[in-house]
Chains A and B, each alone.
Chain A
Amino acid sequence: MAFSQRFIEVDGCRINLRRGGSGEPLLYLHGANGAPAVLPFMEKLAQRFDVLVPEHPGFGASDEPEWLENMHDLAYFYLDVLKSLELRGVHLVGSSLGGWLALEMAVRDASRLKSLVLVGPAGISVPGVSPGDVFLWSPDELARNLFFDPALAEKMIAQPMTPELLDVSLKNRHTVARLGWEPRMHDPFLRKWLHRVSVPVKIVWGEADKILPVAYAGEFKRLMPGAEIEIIPRCGHLPQTERPEEFCDIVTRFTGMG
C-alpha cells in the first residue's frame, strides 16, 4: 500500500504527514521515538483504513514551534488538524506518549472521533509503580527495554547512526523532555476528566512492558471502566512493532472493520 508524503500547515506549524489506504480515517499518534518511516503495521492498517501518520510538532521533519510547551498545546494543535483536514469519525490510535496525547484530545473534544485505541499509553501516574527512566538510559539500554524479543533490540542497536538520524533523535528527545520530563510522562489533572472520553476505548498493553509496566492498564481500567483491555503476552512497549499482525487484528475487530 503506497503512502503519500506531504507537509501541511496548521496554526502556523508545518508538519510532515504520511497518508495511505482508504476507508474510515485512522490517525496514528506516535510515541517518543517519532514516526520516521512507514512500518508494516501501518501498511496493514491501510488495507482497511485511510491511515494518517503525522510527525508531531517538534519531531522528525516537522517544525519546532515556540508555542509548544506542554501536552495541552499538542492536543489543541491536533484538534485543529482534524478540523483543518475536515476529518470526522476518526479512529485515534496512540502509542505511549501518543496515547497520552489521544486522551488529552478526547477529554477536550471528541466530536470528530469515533474510537480510541491506546497502546501502552502514558498520561497518568500509578501509585507505587515507577515507569522506566527513558532519559537516564543509554540508547542501548533503551532499545533493550523497549522490546520483549532481544533480537528486535539488537537489530535496533545495530542500525548505523548517520548524522541525519542523530539530529532527528536529539530533536525528538528534546521535545519528549519538554512535554514529559516533569511530571514524568503524565498530566496530574488528566485523570479527573477521563470520564469525558465519550467514544469506545480499547487499551492494548505488552505484558513485558519495561517502560510503562502493565500495572498501568489496571489503573486505566479503574479510571475508565468502559474501556476494553487487551494484554499481549511476551510483548514489550510497542505491540504494533513487536506483534504487528495481532495488533492490527485487535484494531480492526474493535473498530468493526474486521
Chain B
Amino acid sequence: MPYADLDLKAGREHGTVWVNLPNSNFDPVKGHRLYNRYLDELEHGEELGFDAIAVNEHHQTAYGLMPSPIVTASALARRTSRAKIAILGSALPLREHPLMVAEEHAMIDVISGGRLISGFVRGIGAEYHTFGVNPTFSHDRFHEAHDLIVRAWTEPGPFAFQGRHYNVQYVNLWPRPYQKPHPPIWIPSQGSKETIDWAAHPDRRYTYLQTFSPASVVQRYLKMYRDTCEGFGYEAEDSQLGWAVPVYVAASDEAAQAEAKPHFEAFRNVFLKMPVEMLLPPGYTSRESLKNVMKAKAAIFGDITLEKSIELGLIICGSPATARQALASYWKDMRFGNLLVLCQFGTLPADLTHRNMELFAREVMPAVKQLTSKAVPA
C-alpha cells in the first residue's frame, strides 16, 4: 500500500523513503484518496474470485501506508463475506504488548466468522530504528510474544504467563478466536534458516511465505523448508509453502513491460531502497547473515531494471500466456501451495491496477489454481 503520490525525485535524493524521509512529503488529502482506492481494490479481489486478500504492516515510510494492518483488515472483514483475510503479518516485537495482537486478531476472526489468516513477523530492520525497540532482543521478543498469543488463543483463561519480556497475571482473552484451535499462522520472511527451523517445527508447521526475492532464492528457501520438515521426520504439505511476488499482465509482453516499467522500477529502486545500516541493525540477523548481505551489497542495494527483474523472477510480467507459462515453470521447481500476487506496486495507478487484477483473475488465476490450492491478491 505505497504512497503512490510520492515525489519520486525527493525520495531518490533523500536516499531512502524509510525512517527519516520528512512526513511533509505526505499529503493527507491525497492519502485519503489512496486509502479508499486501495481498499476498493482489495475488496474487488473477492469479486474477482481470489481466495484471500492480504494486508501487511510497515511503519513511518512511503513504502507502505499500513502501520496498522488491523485497521485495513477490520474494514475488509465487514466489506467482504467469502475471501480469507490474511494479515501478513503483525510485527510482534514492535508491539508493546502481544496480548493486544491476540485480542485484535481474535476480534477480526470472530467478526469475519473465521476468515482470518494470522501472520507474524519481526518487522524489518528499519522499524527498529523507527521504534527504538532493541534489535538484539528481536528474536527473543518474537518467540515469547508468539508463545503468549498462541497460549492466549488456545488455553482456558485466566492463567498467568511468566516470561523474560512479558509478564501477565491474568491471561483471559475475550473474545476467543472463532477458528479452532486458532486462526492459521503464516510466517512471511525474506529467508533465514533460523526462521525456517522454527516455522517448520512439528509443533507449529506454519506456512512459510517467501517475500520479494529472486526466484532462485525463493526456490532455495522453499526447498530448505521441505528439507527441514524431512529432518523433523515429516513431509511438508504444499500448503505450508507460499511465494509472494509482484505480477503484471497486459495484452502482450511488450505492452505489459512498457506499462509496468516505471512503476515497478519506482517500487524496486525508490520505495525499497535503504542503506545497509538501516536495513540490518545489530542483532536483527546473525552476524554471519549480515556479512553475507554486505558481500552481496552491490546486487542488493543497486538499481535493477524491469527487464533484469523479469529475468531474475522478481516479478512475473507479460501477456497472460507468458504469465501462465512462467508460473507453471516456477511451480515445478518450487511447488508453492500459496501464491500471493502483488497486483499493485510502487506508483502503479488505479486504472492499470484494475486491469491487471481483472486480466490476472480471468486468464491466469484458473491455471494457477490448477497448479496450487490457493491464490491470494495483495
Proximity bits, A123-161, B CB within 8 Å = 1, else 0: 000000000000111100000000000000000000000
B282 touching A135 by the CB < 8 A rule?
yes
Query: Which of B130-138, B169-177, B179-187 lines the interface with chain A?
Result: B130-138
The answer to whether residues A170 and B287 also contact, given A177-B136, A181-B132 and a CB cut-off of 8 A, is yes
B248, chain A: closest CB distance, angstroms: 34
Number of A-B contacts defined by CB within 8 Å: 48
With both chains docked as a complex, state the minimum distance between the C-beta of B11 and any C-beta of chain A, in angstroms.
Answer: 17
Nearest A residue to B136, CB-CB: A178
**Closest residue to B126 on the A side, CB-wise?**
A136
> How many Å lie between the Cα of A174 and that of B286 in the bound state?
10
Q: Name, among B136, B137, B283, B290, the residue most crowded by chain A CB atoms within 10 Å (CB to CB).
A: B136
Q: Please, which residue of chain A has its CB at the minimum distance from the CB of B129?
A: A136
Query: In the complex, what's the smallest C-beta–C-beta distance from A157 to chain B, in angstroms?
Result: 16
Query: Which residues A171-226 have CB closer than 8 A to chain B?
Result: 171, 173-174, 176-178, 181-184
* Cα-based distance from A181 to B278 in the complex (angstroms): 14
**CA–CA, A130 and B132, complex, Å:** 14
B132 touches A177 (CB 8 A): no
Q: Report whether A182 and B136 are in contact in the complex, using a CB–CB cutoff of 8 Å.
A: no
Tell me whether A184 and B132 are in contact (CB under 8 A).
yes
Contact B281 A177 (CB under 8 A): yes
Minimum CB–CB distance for A224 against chain B, Å: 27
- Contact of A257 with B by CB under 8 A: no
* B contacts with A: majority SS: helix
Given the interface pairs A135-B277, A167-B287, the reply to whether A173 lies near B282 with Cβ below 8 Å is yes
- The CA-CA distance from A166 to B276 in the complex, in Å, is 15
Q: Find residues 101-140 in chain A having any chain B CB closer than 8 Å to their own CB.
A: 135-138
Contact A181 B134 (CB under 8 A): yes
- Of A135, A138, A171, the contact of B287 (CB 8 Å cutoff): A171
For A183, the chain B residues whose CB sits under 8 A away are 132
Give the contacts of B102-134 with A (CB-CB under 8 A).
128-129, 132-134
Query: How far is the CB of B28 from the nearest CB of chain A, in Å?
Result: 27
Any chain A CB within 8 A of the CB of B291? yes
Q: Is A135 a contact partner of B129 (Cβ separation < 8 A)?
A: yes
Specify the chain B residue showing the minimal Cβ separation from A180. Answer: B134
- B residues 133-191 in Cβ contact with A at 8 Å: 133-137
Chain B residues whose CB sits within 8 angstroms of the CB of A136 once the complex forms = 19, 129, 275, 277-278
Interface residues of A in 65-108 (CB under 8 A from B): none
Across the interface, do A181 and B135 meet the contact criterion of CB distance under 8 Å? yes
**A170: which B residues are within 8 A, CB to CB?**
282, 287, 290-291
**What's the Cα separation between A135 and B283 when bound, in Å?**
12
Query: Complex formed: what's the CA distance from A89 to B293 in Å?
Result: 48
Residues of A within 8 A of B128 (CB): 181
A177 to chain B: closest residue by CB: B282
A194 → chain B closest CB, angstroms: 24
Instruction: Report Cα–Cα, A178/B19, bound state, in Å.
Output: 21
A224 to B277, alpha carbons, bound, how many Å? 36
The reply to whether B283 and A177 form a contact with Cβ atoms under 8 Å apart is yes
- The reply to whether B287 and A181 contact each other, CB–CB distance below 8 Å, is no
Residues of A near B277 (CB, < 8 A) are: 135-138
Cβ–Cβ < 8 Å partners of A137 in chain B? 277
CB-defined contacts of B291 to chain A, threshold 8 Å:
166, 170
Alpha-carbon separation in the docked complex, A183 to B278 (Å): 18
Q: Which B residue's beta carbon lies closest to that of A174?
A: B282
Question: Are the C-beta atoms of A181 and B136 separated by less than 8 Å?
Answer: yes
List, sorted by A's number, 17 A–B pairs whose CB atoms are closer than 8 Å.
A136-B277, A170-B282, A170-B290, A171-B287, A174-B136, A174-B282, A174-B283, A177-B134, A177-B136, A177-B282, A178-B282, A181-B128, A181-B132, A181-B134, A181-B136, A183-B132, A184-B132
List residues of chain B with CB under 8 Å of any chain A CB: 19, 128-129, 132-137, 275, 277-278, 281-283, 287, 290-291
A136-B275, A170-B291 are known contacts; what are 20 more A-B pairs with Cβ within 8 Å? A135-B129, A135-B281, A136-B129, A136-B277, A138-B275, A170-B290, A174-B282, A174-B283, A176-B282, A177-B135, A177-B136, A177-B281, A177-B282, A178-B136, A178-B137, A181-B132, A181-B135, A181-B136, A181-B282, A182-B132
Query: 6 closest pairs, A vs B, by CB?
Result: A177-B282, A182-B132, A181-B134, A178-B136, A174-B282, A173-B282
